[in-house]
Structure 1
Amino acid sequence: MTIFTKATARLAVVAAAASVALGLFSTGAAHADTFIPLPGGEITETLPDGTSVTIRLRDESVNISPSMGATPLHRNVWASGRAEVQVHGAHKGVKLYPGYVVGCQVDISGGNANGGANGAVNSQGKGSGGVTSGGNLTLGPGQASTFWLLDVEGPDAYGERGSVPAIKFRGQEGSVTWADSTLGLAGCAGYAQARAFVAVEVSTEFGRSELRLWGQPFSLG
């Protein structure tokens, strides 16, 4: 399940090309805090109307610590990073969705879950957000879910009060920074993995386009 509507065939190819698959960084079981710096990534893609979009994942790291559950079924990670997007050209608005995909004994490539923290929005120019908390997931073998970092209040498409896991901006650039955002995983008896992503939706006079940058997968033990 995805919160995006499907884009054109060309954009599907662009999204596939935007994936940065850098391989698995395995840490083994974490019996003490284990700090892992991650490389992040950067892509620049040109939309069908000629608009250029740059997405970056910077300052990414995770700190794997023993869970409060103190059992093999519990994992706990503190994640930090910064998502940035720049739009080189005219547009009608940009949405920036940062998050993580978490998987239990499965090839992690997507999913959905609730959870997150609050971000701030300046819709008149630059967009920015900050995250300092997190959430918990419960997964069994063969399951994968998305952990959204943001939960920003605002009207939905019908004008009703709601929330979206994104910041919105109308300027040329926006960013979200998170520090020690907790990813708690319960119920997974086997190996578990996670990876960050930065999803971007750009609206222009020609339509709506979607891009996604993937970070490097890392082991939760």
Structure 2
Amino acid sequence: MFGIGTYPRGGRLFVAALAVACCGFGNTGTADADTFIPLPGGIITRELADGTTITIRIDEESAKVSPSLGSTPVHRNVWVSGVGSVDLAGPSADTATIKISPGYVVGCQMDISSLGVNENAGESNTLSQTAPYITPSLSESFGGGITLAPGQAVARLMLDLEKPDDYGMESHKRYNKVPGPHASVTWVDEAFEVNGCGGYAQARSFVLAEIDTTTFIGNLALWGQPFTMG
């Protein structure tokens, strides 16, 4: 279940920002039946050249993990909750547009704590339907089920917003686009399944933000703390 919030418009940004916050790499629980895992969320703030700041937060984050009803070792059920928000402040905040996209990366028998945004990405990067500036080797899951083999990781994007395109055809967006200076997305008990991973499985949240103005496109990403699914 999702909630999307906005506040009054905020301002123009004149330079790009690209950054990653890794909010801890420790394991936070084990995947016993209905294991509840409170998570610390996180915050990242970057200041632009004109004094405008971009802040991304993950708040009220938690996960609940359980094995399958048949206790199959290659299957887990996950329910996740959290609030992702993006805020602009300062002289350029009123005319910018914010694109916000929350999600989770899930890995099987690999360390996903080092996954992050491509540091070489430039201003031409955009938050498209497939959020291309996540680590390029990640495939993406658009449904409720994720199938993984050992050594694989998948980005599970949370939003799927349906709207007509310019020709009246159905289109799907993996982000919410709102005028600045604030955008937020809330998810409560959002469920997905992990199949095929007979070994150690791990997940971590992320919130991606793209700031669009008439002069540039800038990207910022916040990563949550990894948690184990057993």
| TM class, shorter-length | 0.7 to 0.9
What one-letter code is carried by the residue in structure 1 that aligns with 2:187? W
CA deviation after TM superposition for structure 1 residue 24, in Å: 2.3
CA deviation after TM superposition for structure 1 residue 210, in Å: 0.5
CA RMSD between the two structures: 2.2
Higher helix share: 1
CA–CA distance in structure 2, aligned partners of residues 157 and 51 of structure 1: 33
TM-score (norm 1): 0.78
CA–CA distance in structure 2, aligned partners of residues 22 and 191 of structure 1: 18
> For 1:100, which of 95, 104, 113 is the aligned residue?
104
CA–CA distance in structure 2, aligned partners of residues 60 and 26 of structure 1: 13
Consecutive unaligned residues of structure 2, counting only runs of 5 or more, are: 1-15, 116-134
SS of the aligned residue for 2:180 comes to: coil
TM-score (norm 2): 0.75
Is 2:46 the partner of 1:19? no
Misfit runs of 4+, over 6 Å: none
More relative contact order, 1 or 2 (CA 8 Å, 6+ apart): 2
Structure 1 residues 155 and 106, CA, compared in 2 at 3 Å: closer, same or farther? farther
8 Å Cα contact 1:49/1:206 also seen in 2: no
Aligned residues: 190
CA–CA distance in structure 1, aligned partners of residues 215 and 95 of structure 2: 9
Is 2:141 the partner of 1:141? no
Deviation by residue 1:82-122 (Cα, 9 ceiling, x = unmatched): 00111121333110000000001122224232325xxxxxx
1:1-221 mapped onto 2 (5 Å cutoff): 11=17, 14-15=18-19, 18-28=20-30, 30-48=31-49, 50-88=51-89, 89-108=93-112, 109=115, 110=135, 111-115=138-142, 135-155=144-164, 160-221=169-230
CA deviation after TM superposition for structure 1 residue 52, in Å: 1.4
CA–CA distance in structure 2, aligned partners of residues 51 and 112 of structure 1: 34
Consecutive unaligned residues of structure 1, counting only runs of 5 or more, are: 1-9, 117-134
CA–CA distance in structure 2, aligned partners of residues 176 and 183 of structure 1: 18
Structure 1 residues 189 and 162, CA, compared in 2 at 3 Å: closer, same or farther? same
What one-letter code is carried by the residue in structure 2 that aligns with 1:191? Y
What one-letter code is carried by the residue in structure 2 that aligns with 1:194? A
CA deviation after TM superposition for structure 1 residue 206, in Å: 2.0
What one-letter code is carried by the residue in structure 2 that aligns with 1:58? D
8 Å Cα contact 2:21/2:43 also seen in 1: no
What one-letter code is carried by the residue in structure 1 that aligns with 2:209? V
